[in-house]
Homo-oligomer: A and B are copies of this chain.
Amino acid sequence: MVRLGARSGYAIKKTADLSTRNFWPTSLAQVYPELARLEDAGLVSRRDDARGERVRSAYELTEAGEAALVAWLRSPRLAPVQLRDEGLLKLFFADALPRPDQLDLIRHVRAEDHASVTELREQIIPLAEQAHRHGVKFPAIVARLSADLYAYAEEWLARLEQELSASQPPE
């Protein structure tokens, strides 16, 4: 984030909320200690950047920091994906519901997917495309991938709803 231009801890958190939040959530209480660790390790440098009375630090990547970033990006290890999705969990157990409630649940999960698509298309993708104009391509790529995935899930659930509406419950 520092490399992409977020210079203060506050700016890092704000940028993350508008870009990586959907696949890598971050809280301010993580950002500040992490910046301190990175500085100790010599991966970022801190410069005083006060606005009048208000203290502010401006961080930049050091050469070692840039190298560490690239080494991480190149390393083939990926931590296992962690997903917690209560909508899918409810769907999994939906056999316990009568048919009309099953359809309500499907519509509800679909609506959540739709909200994600909307947020991505209206807020996150436009921002990422600004970066695109400055030669930074991948934030926009990831945002489009995310939006397309949620849109695909939305369509999938719409088809499911139609199929279940058409068929009578066997019970």
Contact = CB atoms under 8 A, between A and B. Distances in A.
A11 interface: no
Contact of A138 (B92, B149, B157, B170): B92
Contacts of A153: 145, 149
Contacts of A91: 138, 141-142, 145
A85 interface: yes
A83 B83 CA distance: 4
A20 interface: yes
Number of copies of this protein chain within its complex? 2
A22 B92 contact: no
A55 interface: no
Interface of A: 3-4, 19-20, 22-25, 66, 69-70, 72-74, 76, 78-79, 81-97, 101-102, 104-105, 108-109, 112, 135-139, 141-142, 145-146, 148-149, 152-153, 156-157, 160, 170-171
Given A135-B171, A138-B91, A156-B145, A70 B84 contact: no
